[in-house]
Amino acid sequence: MTSYAFWNNKGGVGKSFLCFVAASEYAHLHQDTDVYVIDLCPQGNVSETLLGGYLHGSKALNSLLHKTPRKTVAGYLEARLNSPFQMIPEIAQYLCEPKEFNPSLPENLKLVCGDNLLEIISEAIRQTSQLSIPINSWKQVITWIYDLTVALRNHSGERKTMFVIDCNPSFAVYTQLALVAAESVVIPFTADDSSRRAIENVVALLYGLTDTQTQTYARISFAKRAKEEGIPVPKLNTFVSNRMTFDNGKPSKAFEAVNKTIKKTMDDIYNKNNHIFSYPKDLPSKNFIEIPDYHSVCVVASHSGTPLHKLKPGPQQITDERLQLNPDPLDRYRHALQELVNCL
């Protein structure tokens, strides 16, 4: 079982779209593997894209929200709230086959939909984790999504499985559940200083590695609790510099300058704490992937739910707007994103 959480402590970095691309392309290339997307973002963006994109995906998601029980990750978590310390015997009722709504997708791509109810029930989940009885209530609650991945693995039987987990930028309790369920973290970012600070927050929140000014808070952190309870946290796997501006085939000087600063920040952290990385023998800067900015592809794929391997160059009609996908930029974009898929 392999599981990846896509997370950054900053929104707007293209995390959900990269989840969509990674899951759909991996499923296309590995037909012998069941690829499960678990959407733990209340906005449900990756769910809407997988279910058919703009309008169609929204309508499909609404239909799943109104099932009884809700055919979403929040439906599963509601069931866990009702019986906090017992496994759910039947998880198929929370699982969606997105190909039924979006024929462009591979059959081996599965989805546990996102749900805006996540935000509403998060306080109930947090309070349940703080119960004094049983004494390990936090440990049992914080592994609810991990339990879900185990159940889905059993659901797949003898088939291989891979999990792509879309996380909310916040460090809410449902994000913590998502991260505990993952073995590795993929960190998308944009080349700006706010992304550098957000990545530093990832390290502080997950591993309790902070500067002297905030070290006091590390003593009561999630990382400390996880270590005390014997809960493994995921390793930092891949860093995706998303929406890079290129000039003559190379990143623009402004983007490259910020990119170098972020690489140096991660290499400096590595030199003192290489145990938090998936590849402890390699500098993190060796595992940075640069994705060019190609807005038209993102718009077409997101609005229609079309995976990259199905996109064709030429004119595209999106609602009342006509876009052109040119073959060379499309090929370069596919090649860059293939590097990401190859890391999974």
Element (H, E) at 33: strand 33-40
CA distances to 15, 184, 253, 257, 271 from 241, rounded to whole Å, are: 11, 17, 14, 12, 21
Q: Which parts of the chain sit beneath pLDDT 50?
A: none
Structural domains of the chain ordered from first start: 2-342 (3.40.50.300)
- Which tens digit of pLDDT belongs to each residue from 51-88? 999 889 999 999 999 999 999 999 999 999 999 999 99
CA distances to 46, 120, 211 from 203, rounded to whole Å, are: 25, 27, 11
- Which tens digit of pLDDT belongs to each residue from 81-114? 999 999 998 999 999 999 999 999 999 999 999 9
Q: What is the dihedral of CA 73, 145, 77, 220, to 10 degrees?
A: -130
Residues 1/282, Cβ–Cβ less than 8 Å: no
The C-alpha angle 172, 194, 302, rounded to 5 degrees, equals: 70
| Secondary structure letter of residue 11 according to DSSP | S
Which class for 143: exposed (0-12), middle (13-18), buried (19 or more C-beta within 10 A)? middle
Which residue in 11, 9, 4, 14 sits closest to 242, CA to CA?
A: 14
**Locus of tokens 């999106």:** 318
Half-sphere exposure in the Cβ direction for 325 (13 Å, CA):
22
pTM of the model: 0.94
**Locus of tokens 């993190």:** 284
For residue 320, the model assigns a pLDDT of: 75
Report residue 9: phi and psi, to 5°.
-80, 30
For residue 207, the model assigns a pLDDT of: 93
**One-letter amino acid identity for 156?**
S
- Which tens digit of pLDDT belongs to each residue from 143-168? 999 999 999 999 999 999 999 999 99
Between CA 21 and CA 155 the distance in angstroms is 24
316 beta partners: 323
Alpha helices in the chain (DSSP H): 15-29, 45-50, 56-65, 73-82, 117-129, 137-142, 144-155, 173-180, 193-207, 215-218, 222-229, 253-272, 295-304, 327-342
For residue 292, the model assigns a pLDDT of: 86
